[in-house]
Amino acid sequence: MKVLKTLAIVAASTMMVSCGNQKPDVKSLETEIDSASYALGMDMAIKVKANFEKADTDLFLQGYRNGMDSTNMLIAQEDLNAFLGAFFQKQQAEKMKEQQEKAAKDAEVKFGDNKKAGQDFLAENKVKENVQTTDSGLQYLVLKEGTGEKPVATSKIKIHYHGTTINGEVFDSSVDKGTPYDASPNQFIPGFTEGLLLMNEGAKYRFFIPQELAYGAQQRGALIQPFSTLIFEVEILDILEQ
């Protein structure tokens, strides 16, 4: 982590510099040591500012002085790395969440028509003969029932699948490739996983997967745009391992 590495570098590089005596700001750098000392301080400030905009400058300087003097430390030295690691990990998670929320809002503006098209499609499809809907919103149609066992989430299964958009565009198909796919049910998008766990070995179903059970606001290749409802025909050919 940049901040932690910088803290270590500055602490090691400034052991010869006393913080006990407060001096007025200098107006020029006379020696190479002066320049190096100033550059290290400036570099640290820039990196701290980049990683932690809300840093309290007074407390930052107090912590620096206490660390240099090894006195009046408000956090035990042996706890520093664990505290800072957890703190910046939390900051990073919050920042990532904000970025994801912003990306979702931007996608909503640009691709909102995809969401509505999917909702309209599912509303019409729901009332068609033999189409069933789960509590999550997944819709499915039994094309052929199987007689074997049901897989569990971690089973190793061999399947054939054929995936299309609601407009009928094929985005992926093991059927077209002529090669069955080996995987576990828990490796797929939520709607696909849920559908597989409803099936028995030998069954063939058609899944109608709402965008929130598919890729949501993510773009996946040229055909799967944000908020796309997806359709899969899936057949469990074999349960290789339970």
pLDDT in tens, 126-143: 999 999 999 999 999 999
pLDDT in tens, 145-155: 999 999 999 99
Whether residue 9 is predicted with pLDDT greater than 80 in this model: the reply is: no
Number of helices (H), then strands (E), in the chain: 6, 7
Binned at pLDDT 50, 70 and 90, residue 64 comes out as confident
Report the 10 Å Cβ neighbour count for 13: 15
Exposure string of 101-112, with b = 16+ CB inside 10 Å and e = fewer, is eeeeeebeeebe
Whether residue 188 is predicted with pLDDT greater than 80 in this model: the reply is: yes
Average of per-residue pLDDT values in the chain? 88
pLDDT higher at 191 or 96: 191
Distances (CA, A) of 119 to 104, 188, 189, 209: 17, 22, 18, 11
Q: What is the mean pLDDT of residues 207-229?
A: 94
pLDDT at residue 22, as a whole number: 58
Domain boundaries, the chain: 2-74, 112-241
Amino acid sitting at position 206: R
Binned at pLDDT 50, 70 and 90, residue 15 comes out as very low
Q: What span, in angstroms and rounded, lies between the C-alpha atoms of 89 and 12?
A: 24
Q: What is the mean pLDDT of residues 214-242?
A: 94
pLDDT at residue 234, as a whole number: 98
Distances (CA, A) of 188 to 2, 14, 80, 149, 155: 35, 53, 40, 20, 13
Check residue 71 and report its DSSP letter. -
Q: What span, in angstroms and rounded, lies between the C-alpha atoms of 159 and 237?
A: 5
**Which range, of 20-24, 90-94, 169-173, averages the lowest pLDDT?**
20-24
pLDDT at residue 58, as a whole number: 87
Residues in the chain: 242
Q: Is the dihedral of CA 99, 100, 105, 107 positive or negative?
A: positive
pLDDT at residue 156, as a whole number: 97
Binned at pLDDT 50, 70 and 90, residue 24 comes out as confident
Q: What's the pTM value of the predicted model, to 2 decimals?
A: 0.64
Contact assessment for residue 236 and residue 145, using Cβ atoms and an 8 Å cutoff: no
Residue 165: partners with Cβ closer than 8 Å, 6 or more residues away: 171, 223, 224, 228, 229, 230, 231
pLDDT higher at 31 or 6: 31
Distances (CA, A) of 182 to 10, 46, 97, 233: 53, 50, 33, 16
Q: What span, in angstroms and rounded, lies between the C-alpha atoms of 25 and 109?
A: 51
pLDDT at residue 10, as a whole number: 45
What CATH class does 112-241 carry? alpha beta
Contact assessment for residue 67 and residue 73, using Cβ atoms and an 8 Å cutoff: yes
Binned at pLDDT 50, 70 and 90, residue 233 comes out as very high
pLDDT higher at 175 or 77: 175
